[in-house]
Structure formats: structure tokens, C-alpha cells
Amino acid sequence: MRASLSVLSGILLAAALGLTVPRAGARTWTDTHGRQFEATLVENQGGELILELAGGRRFRMPLARLCEADRAAVGGARGGLRAVSLDGPWPAAVRHDRTVQVREISEDPEARRFIYESPHYRFTCKVRLSDEVLRNFSVLFESTYLYCQRLPLALLKHGKGGEKLPVLLFETEEQYVRAGGMRGSAGCYVPAKGAVLAPLSSLGLVPVSGGYRLDPSRQNLVLIHELAHQLTPGSYYKPGALGWFSEGLAEYVATTPYTWGYFKVDPHGNAARDYVTAFGRKGRAGRNLGNTIALPRLERFMTQSYGSFTGHHANLNYGASLMLVHYFFHLEGQGKRRNIRRFLEALNSGATGSAALEVLLAGRSYEELEEDVARCWRAKGVTVRFQP
């Protein structure tokens, strides 16, 4: 359990002394040792709970630490947020219909530090942003959050202690690079900070006299990719999934057709095919690998190091990862997703490397998997040849 022992001890002591005060949404929980405490369930992150105390303090607790009755109750609980799951239906589309509320937390012009919050994000910026600008780019962040929430992949994680997800915004590319961003990139995710870094230009904003305006012609594929990384649980970055799945998943989210708060899921793979083989929607992005693609053998591809994945053949690897993830999500087994669901369950249960991949193979050899992947993509006009 990641919550400090002092926090949990305080909870249990208060409960033992009868000091808890009932609150809306709160309930009394009982752990496997019979000890009780009061808290509100904020979210179930694939077996790890985020609970909130009366004073607003949040902490994490493994579901397995609760008594049997409470574990059963969590199975249907929402706690103010949709419980993440691997069993739900795949959405056809996700639209963010609500107005995104953004509030100012603090502004310090001398230190050039301006902090704003939307429902799930905290934005720290080097320059003051207008209400219109904040609303505009917050739609992208909150829509991506909602889309990832609706996917039955047990995504969604919060910042440390259940806090809002941090986003660091920079007025210039030099500021962005000094903070750890890669020159020329539209954004990046820094695991050590748990934060997405982005220059304002990647949010579709261009400088004008007195501030910024929205440029609707800008695409945000890289930024959505990094937001997906921020919402991906740590178990999906383990050996066996790191690289082909962790990057393929982010590519899948980013290449889902998106227009101002609306993600239109493409189970047929037309958007993924256009992105991999050419330059994607409207010809402004894509891997441009052509309609005949030579890929490495899957056993080597799916077990290579992350350094190798992002090395000299990164463009090919990212395109291949999207093709493979789309196959497991929509093409294999008539889109029933049995094997990928069991694979993710295995990862969340602690399996890694070959042990996790054996679950995904489901009794097949890598060669048999290659044949099925090639067959499914051939039906979409893409010839895949696996090379030694």
C-alpha cells in the first residue's frame, strides 16, 4: 500500500474512538483485520482504490486489503467517478458535452508562475492565459481524459496522492527544452514528474498582439499521445508491454479521429491505416510506411528493449505498434478482445515479460500470430511481411 502508515493509523484510531462524522458519499470501510475507517471512494484504478478522508486528504489502498463484503461493494461502486474496467463495451464515440470550467489558483507575474485548474488537470504556465485560451485548450485535455476513461482498458491514474494531473506549459521552446522537453516536439510525458510538458504552440495557440489566439488548423496528435501516457497505469510499462503496447496504446488514442471535444472511434481501422501507410487525416501527420511493410518477427519486436524500440527504427516501430494494438482491440476474434483483456489482467496482477505474453498468445506460436495479423491487415489493403 502506498499510503503512509501514519495516515492509515490515524484513520483507524479515529474510527476506534468514534470520532468519524457521516458525510455525503462517505461510508465505513472494513479491512481484512476487521479494522474500520470512514472515507469516500474516489476511484477504483484496476484494483487500487483512491479514498478521500473527511478533510479532503486522499490516499491509496489495494482493494485486496478490504474485507470480502467491501470488495464486493466496490465492484458496483462509482464513488463520484466511473470505475475503470476491462469488461465494458468499446465506445463508438465519446463527446465532451459539458462546459469545461477552469479556475485561477494563483498568479505571480514577478516569478512568471501562473497556475490554473480544470476538473482533472493543474496547469502551471510561464505566462498569464486569458479565459478564452484556457477554455479552448482545456477542452482537449478533458476530452482526452473522458475518452481514456470510457475505453475498457483500466486506464486513468491520478497524480501523487490522488491530486490533479500536472501539466507544465511554456511560452517559448527554449523554456520547454530547459525543463526537459525534446526540441521540435509538441509535448512529452516525464514519468519522474508525472507531468506532461508542452509549449503553448502545440496547444493550437499562436501569439498575437496582447496575447494568443486559437489556430484551428493545428493538430494535436503528439500532445494527445503524451496525455494518454500520463493516464496509463504503471503495469502497462512493464517488460512484455513496454514499447509495443505502451506506445501502441498512446498511438491508438492519438490517431482516433478528433474534432473539438469529440472522439469518433474507428474500429474498421481506416484512420490507423492512413496514419501508418501515409500521412494520416488531412495529410498533416503519419508514419508514411507505404502499403507494403516489412516488420521484424513478432517475438523479437514484442520483447525488445525500450531503447531499441525508440532507436534507429522508431518510425517503423511506432507504426507497427499501432497496427498490432489495433489488431488486438478490433480485429482478433471478431473484436471480442478476450486475449488482450486477459493480457492486461495478467499485467495488473503482476505478470511481466514472457509470462504475460504467453497469456496474450493464448496457446498460439508467434508464427501463428504473425499469420493472423498479416491476414487481418491484408484485408484492409496493407501487406505485412515479417522479416528475420
* Beta-bridge partner residues of 122: 117, 166
- Indicate where the chain has its CATH 3.40.30 domain(s): 93-230
Work out the pLDDT band at 158, boundaries 50, 70, 90: low
Q: What is the 3-state secondary structure (H, E, C) of the chain?
A: CCCCHHHHHHHHHHHHCCCCCCCCCCEEEEECCCCEEEEEEEEECCCEEEEECCCCCEEEEEHHHECHHHHHHHCCCCCCCCCCCCCCCCCCEEECCCCCCCEEEEEECCCCEEEEECCCEEEEECCCCCHHHHHHHHHHHHHHHHHHHHCCCCCCCCCHHHCCEEEEEECCHHHHHHCCCCCCCCCEEECCCCEEEEEHHHHCEEEECCEEEECCCCCCHHHHHHHHHHCCCHHHHCCCCCCHHHHHHHHHHHHCCEECCEEECCCCCHHHHHHHHCCCHHHCCCCCCCCEEEEECHHHHHHCCHHHHCCCCHHHHHHHHHHHHHHHHHHHHHHCCHHHHHHHHHHHCCCCHHHHHHHHHCCCCHHHHHHHHHHHHHCCCCEEEEEC
Task: Give the pLDDT confidence score for residue 235 in this predicted structure.
Answer: 93
Grid cell 510538458 is found at 197
Work out the pLDDT band at 9, boundaries 50, 70, 90: very low
CATH topology of domain 93-230: Glutaredoxin (3.40.30)
Share of the chain above pLDDT 70, in %: 84
Work out the pLDDT band at 33, boundaries 50, 70, 90: confident
Q: Which of 26-30, 158-162, 235-239, 275-279 is predicted with the least confidence, judged by mean pLDDT? A: 158-162
For the domain covering 5-74, report its CATH number: 2.30.30.700
Task: Give the pLDDT confidence score for residue 44 in this predicted structure.
Answer: 73
* 318-372: pLDDT as tens digits: 999 999 999 999 999 988 999 999 999 999 999 999 999 999 999 999 999 999 9
- Indicate where the chain has its CATH 2.30.30.700 domain(s): 5-74
Task: Give the pLDDT confidence score for residue 100 in this predicted structure.
Answer: 78
Q: Which of 12-16, 88-92, 275-279 is predicted with the least confidence, judged by mean pLDDT? A: 12-16
Q: According to the per-residue pLDDT averaged within each range, which of 62-76, 183-197, 198-212, 232-246 is highest?
A: 232-246
CB contact at 8 A, 240 and 355: yes
* 233-260: pLDDT as tens digits: 999 999 999 999 999 999 999 999 998 8
